[in-house]
Structure 1
C-alpha cells in the first residue's frame, strides 16, 4: 500500500496542478505520521517535478520537553535529507490569551503566519500541509455542527491561495501503512489522543460511534459527499463570476459599483455569492463576514431604499444609489455593525464586535451581596427572565424601564437624558430577553428585573474586556 499511496499523492499533485516546476514549497512538519508521510512523498515527487523543498517546524511550547524533542527530531531529519530547515518556538497559550483565541485557533494562526514568513524570505511559493481524508471528514462535521452552506460542505480545497493539500485523497490508515512500510520514525503527540478539543472529540468519540453504529465506511462516504458538493460549488462560483462581471459598473481597489436591477433579478444563491465576491475583492478575504451580514445587506438592496446604507464588519459599507449600489471600504472606526448573540446561561460568551466576554452564573439569593455591584457586574431576578437571553446593540423603537422609574421610555430619550453622544449609542451593548431590555450595559438595569425581597434565584452577569467598551464615560448617572 505504501507505493500505492505515493502514486496516489503524486497523481493528486499533478491532476490539481498543486506544484509546478521551480516552485518553492514549504512543508509544515510536526514530526507526526501525517506530516512525515507528506515530507517523504514530496521528496520523491521532486524526482518528477523539479521544485525546491523546505521544512518548517513550530514548537508551540505546550508540551515542554516533548515539544523540544520533536523540534530536534525534525531538525535531524532535515539534515539527513539535506532539506533546508526553519523553526520557531512560541508560547501558544500566551498568544491565545492575548489575542482572545482558542488554543486551536491560536495554533492555526501561529503556524500559517510562520509559514508565510518563511515563504517571504524565499521569494514566495506554496505551503504544503498534511490534511488527509480523515481530517476532511472532521472538518465537514465541525462545519455542519456550527452551521454552513454549500461552500462549507465541500470541505477543504486541494489548493487555497498559497496553501496546498496533497494528502486529501488518502486516509489515515493509508498514511500509517506508508509509514510502516518505509520504516519512517515518527513522533507522537499524546494530546491528539485526549478529547480536550472539539476536533479531538469528533475524531476520538463521534466518528468511531458513527462507524460502529451506522456506517463503517463513513470516512469514504463523507469524502465522496464533499467531492459532489465541490463540483456544484465550483459551478455556482463560475456562474456567479460571469453575472458579477456583467453587472459591475466600476471597480477600484476601494470601491465596487453594481447594477441594482440586474442584481435583483438573480436567484438568492447568486445574490449572496456576488456580494461575497465584491467584498472579497476589496478585502482579499471573506473571513469575518457572516451569512447574517450578507442577508441584511441583500434586504437593504432589494428594498430600493435610495440613500440608505449598512455597515458590515471589516470596515465594509454598502450604500444604495439610483439604479445601483456601492460596496466600499470606509473608515468605520467610530461605527459598529449590528450584532445579536444568544447568551448561554452559566457559561462564557465571546462578543467579537466588542472584544469582550460575558460570564453568567445562577446563584441562590442568599449567596449574593448586591453591594458588590459595579459598572460591569450586575445581579438580576432570574425568575423574571422570559425566554432566551441575548446581547445586542440598539434597534429602532427600543423602549426601556430604567431602574427607579415606573413604565417605559424610549431608549433614544434615555441616552439623551444621560447626554450620551449620538456616535457612541450604537456601541452600547444591551442585555435583553425575548420581551424586554434587561440592562443597558454600563449604565442602568431595568426596574422589572431588579432583586426584591421575594427573589429566590439570582442571575449574575459579568462583562470582561481588555479595553473600555466605550472609551470616556459620558455620564456619571450610572446605576
Structure 2
C-alpha cells in the first residue's frame, strides 16, 4: 500500500517540498490512516503535517468522543491539531438545505480559510469512494459537462484539496490500520440505509468487486481521462464562442444560428453551457444539462422562431439567424429549479416533495400524492415554479389547461402562485401541481410493474402576535 500511495502522489504531483498539509480527520479508518501515513512520511516527502477536525455536533456523545479521540491521538504523536465547531442544524435551517449538504459547505468554508498557496487540504477519499461516486452520479443523471467522479487534485481558494488514497481500496486501508495499531472510531451513520451512498456501498459495490477486484483502478483511470477530455473540449468551445457571437453584455448574449449549427455537436453543447454559466454566474441551475438539450432542439429545428423560458428569469429566443439568451422581468418567471432524485426528496421554501419507487399493486393516491408508471416517466424530474405559458394535460380532461388558469379556478392566493411548485419531466411536461391537479401523462395501468410515488407536504407556519 505504501508504495502505491507514494506513486500516486508522485504521478499526480499532489505535494510540493515545504508545503503544509492539513489532514481532514474524522476519526474513522480512512482519515486516521491518511494522517498516520503522511506524518510517517513527512520527512521523505519534505512536508509539514497538521490535523484538522470539524465538529458538526450532529451525533451527540458519539461525535464528542470522536473529537476527544483525535485530540488524544495527536497529542500522543505530537501532531499539531486544530478543531472547528460548527452549527450544522442552524446553518441548514437558515439556508433551507439538508444537514449533509450543510455540513459539507461548513467544512469547506473552513478549509478555504485555512489554505494558501503553500498549503493543501488532504482528505481520506479512496478508490471505493471513487467507484461509489461515479456510479451514483451516473444513476442520478449527472450533468455530462461537469467533472466526473472525485478529482485527485482540486483548487480551493488560494490552495487546493488533494486525495492521496484514490488509488487504493477500503480493504487496504483497514489492513494498514491493523499494521500500525490504529483503532479508529466507527461512525454509526455509515451503516444507515437512509443514506443513498450507504445503499450503493452495501448492495452494489460488493457485486462490482466480485466481477473485477480492480474496478477502482479502472474507474480512477476513467475519471482522469474523462476530466482531461472535458477540459480540452471546453477550451475549444471557449475559443469558438467569440466567432459565433453577434453581441454580448451582462444580461444578453446573441449568437448566429447558422454559424452555431456548423460546429460539431459536442462543441454546441459546451458553447450553450458557457453562455448559461456567463449569464447565471454563481447561480447556475443544477439541471443545466436539461436546458442545454431544450435549447439545442430549438437551435436545430426547421421552425425558425420560438421562445423557451429558462430558470431564474432568463429566456432563450430564436428569431431566424439571431439566437438570444436574455434576462427578463424577474417577477414573471421561475425563481427555483431543482432535480428530484429517485429515490430522494427536495425542500423548497415551505414545500417538501419526496419520491420513492414501489412494486406494490394495490395503491390508492392520497390527496397529497401522485402515482406514476415509472417506465413511462421521462427522467430526470425537476421541481420548479410556474412559467407564464405553462400548460398541463390534466387528468380527467381533454386538451390542456394553463396553470395560471388552474390557480384562478382553485382560488390560490395571488401571492402564493409564484412559489407553488410544479413537477416536470425531462421534456418539460408538467406531471403534477401538488394539492391541485394531476397530469394524465404516465398514468399507471394493469401492466405497470414499478410505481413512482410522489408525496408532498406543506409546512403551515403559525403566526403569533
Tell me, yes or no, whether TM beats 0.5: yes
Spell out the pairing of 1:165-314 with structure 2 (5 A cutoff).
Answer: 165-212=163-210, 214-244=211-241, 246-248=243-245, 258-281=255-278, 283-284=281-282, 288-302=286-300, 308=307, 310-313=309-312
Give 1:30's aligned residue.
26
1:357 to 343, 352, 369: 352
Is the CA contact 2:333–2:388 (under 8 Å) kept in the aligned structure 1? no
Tell me how far apart the structure 2 counterparts of residues 402 and 332 of structure 1 sit (CA, whole Å).
31
Structure 1 residues 259 and 50: CA distance shift in structure 2, 3 A: farther
Give 2:447's aligned residue.
none
Tell me how far apart the structure 2 counterparts of residues 338 and 9 of structure 1 sit (CA, whole Å).
41
Spell out the pairing of 1:338-357 with structure 2 (5 A cutoff).
Answer: 349-350=345-346, 352=348, 356-357=351-352
1:112 to 108, 113, 130: 108
Is the CA contact 1:248–1:258 (under 8 Å) kept in the aligned structure 2? yes
SS in 2 for 1:265: coil
Confirm whether residue 130 of structure 1 aligns to residue 128 of structure 2.
no
1:17 to 9, 13, 18: 13
Shift of 1:324: 5.0
Structure 1 residues 286 and 23: CA distance shift in structure 2, 3 A: farther
> Over alpha carbons, which structure has the higher Rg?
1
Give 2:458's aligned residue.
464
Shift of 1:295: 1.6
Is the CA contact 2:305–2:319 (under 8 Å) kept in the aligned structure 1? yes
Aligned-residue Cα RMSD (Å) equals 5.1
Shift of 1:57: 0.8
TM-score normalised per structure 1: 0.69
SS in 1 for 2:106: helix
Is the CA contact 2:145–2:270 (under 8 Å) kept in the aligned structure 1? no
Confirm whether residue 398 of structure 1 aligns to residue 391 of structure 2.
yes
Shift of 1:7: 2.0
Is the CA contact 1:150–1:233 (under 8 Å) kept in the aligned structure 2? no
TM-score normalised per structure 2: 0.70
Structure 1 residues 251 and 36: CA distance shift in structure 2, 3 A: farther
SS in 1 for 2:59: coil
Single out whichever of 46-55 and 138-147 deviates more from structure 2: 46-55
5+ residue gaps, structure 2, are: 359-363, 441-452
Single out whichever of 290-299 and 16-25 deviates more from structure 2: 16-25
Shift of 1:445: 5.7
2:71 to 37, 53, 75: 75
Is the CA contact 1:259–1:325 (under 8 Å) kept in the aligned structure 2? yes
Tell me how far apart the structure 1 counterparts of residues 145 and 430 of structure 2 sit (CA, whole Å).
37
Instruction: Summarize deviations over 1:112-151 as a string: whole Å, max 9, x none.
Output: 22322434xx689543222111110010121122123655
